Amino acid sequence: MQTTFRLDELTGSERHAKPWMKVTPAIITIGIIAAFAVHGRIAQPAHYNDFADQSALFGIPHAGDVLSNAGFALVAIWGWLALRPHRSSDRLRAGWPGYRLFLIGLFLTAFGSAYFHLAPGNGRLTWDMLPIALAGAGLLVGVRGDTQPVSKTNPGSKTNIEAILLGLYAAASVAWWVLTDRHGAGDLRPYLLLQVLPLILIPLWQSIYRAPRTDRIAFAAAMALYVLAKLAEVLDHPIADTLGFVSGHTLKHLLATAATAAIVWGLTRRFAGDGRPTAYTCTISE
Ligand SMILES: [Zn+2]
């Protein structure tokens, strides 16, 4: 007989979440959607495309904002090379469809964002938003697959469908903004939902289903860096005026890259000392 269940890295205890805890993420998600609905349309700030970085390098305009995207591609390649060989492993199978989407989105972000920052404007912004939305969707599906209790049959089967559905939602959320923006009333709410949900649901899932400590540390670091990145984005001009050599938005790209690196680092740690039982899932044959 083969029994599949989950072990906690630290306690070694089988994971049992109380029923009321299991429904908390759904209730919070519905609450956020309701809050967005009540709030009404959320538009892009009027001067969003007016970035502080005016540096030029080898004929590249806004060189700081353009070139600071390279790290996204490097982190994505690192993640792909380090994780893909383990995609069928018990430690990654359930999360891989999501993490794969995350890494693809991250890789495309490097190019989409660089293309946008060469000549910032709402027309090109789509190509910045789309891969970011895909990466956010992938992250949600990946961590969800990792943290939800697995079934006895093919634990990865559901997350493939979830990755496709949430990937389609990500594309639709950007399409919604494009369509509404063309009519002079751009609405970012569906897109922002994908930015907000990972920040709330990931720590919640990790707590409810007692994710391994390394995962929690990696995501806590990623979230702290992401908050700093958002802060740097808002302070684009003041940071450029104060520091001179770097703008807030360039710094945002670098901090966001560090956040994604923390996530990939956390995932690769599962395979650091191969053979040790540091994984989420253990399969026991009797
Ligand atoms: Zn940017």
Q: How high is the pLDDT of residue 283?
A: 40
Compare 21 and 214 and report the one with higher pLDDT: 214
Q: How high is the pLDDT of residue 52?
A: 85
Residue-by-residue DSSP string for 223-268: HHHHHHHHHHHHTHHHHHHHHSSS-HHHHHHHHHHHHHHHHHHHHH
How many Å lie between the centroid of ligand 1 and the Cα of residue 70?
A: 12
Local structure of residue 14 (DSSP, 8 states) = B
Burial 90-100 (b: 16+ CB within 10 A, else e): bbbbbbbbbbb
pLDDT at 184 over 90: no
pLDDT at 5 over 60: no
CA torsion angle for 196, 199, 202, 206 (degrees, to 10)? -150
pLDDT at 148 over 60: yes
What pLDDT, in 10s, does the model give residues 228-273? 999 999 999 999 889 888 999 999 999 999 999 999 999 999 888 7
Confidence bin at 152 (pLDDT 50/70/90):
low
What's the CA gap between 113 and 129, in Å, rounded?
A: 8
**Residue owning tokens 């958002």:** 230
How many Å lie between the centroid of ligand 1 and the Cα of residue 160?
A: 30
How many Å lie between the centroid of ligand 1 and the Cα of residue 79?
A: 22
How many Å lie between the centroid of ligand 1 and the Cα of residue 112?
A: 9
How many Å lie between the centroid of ligand 1 and the Cα of residue 190?
A: 19
Q: How high is the pLDDT of residue 32?
A: 92
How many Å lie between the centroid of ligand 1 and the Cα of residue 114?
A: 8
pLDDT at 159 over 60: yes
What pLDDT, in 10s, does the model give residues 51-106? 888 888 888 888 889 999 999 999 999 999 999 999 988 889 889 999 999 999 99
Q: How high is the pLDDT of residue 189?
A: 94
| Beta carbons within 10 angstroms of residue 54's beta carbon | 12
Domains belonging to the chain, first-starting first, are 2-11+59-285 (1.20.1070)
Q: How high is the pLDDT of residue 23?
A: 85
pTM: 0.86
What pLDDT, in 10s, does the model give residues 193-219? 999 999 999 999 988 888 888 999 999
Compare 25 and 11 and report the one with higher pLDDT: 25
How many Å lie between the centroid of ligand 1 and the Cα of residue 155?
A: 37
What is the SS3 assignment for 272?
coil
Q: How high is the pLDDT of residue 210?
A: 84
Helices (H), 148-212: 157-182, 189-208
Q: How high is the pLDDT of residue 19?
A: 74
How many Å lie between the centroid of ligand 1 and the Cα of residue 251?
A: 9
| Beta carbons within 10 angstroms of residue 286's beta carbon | 5
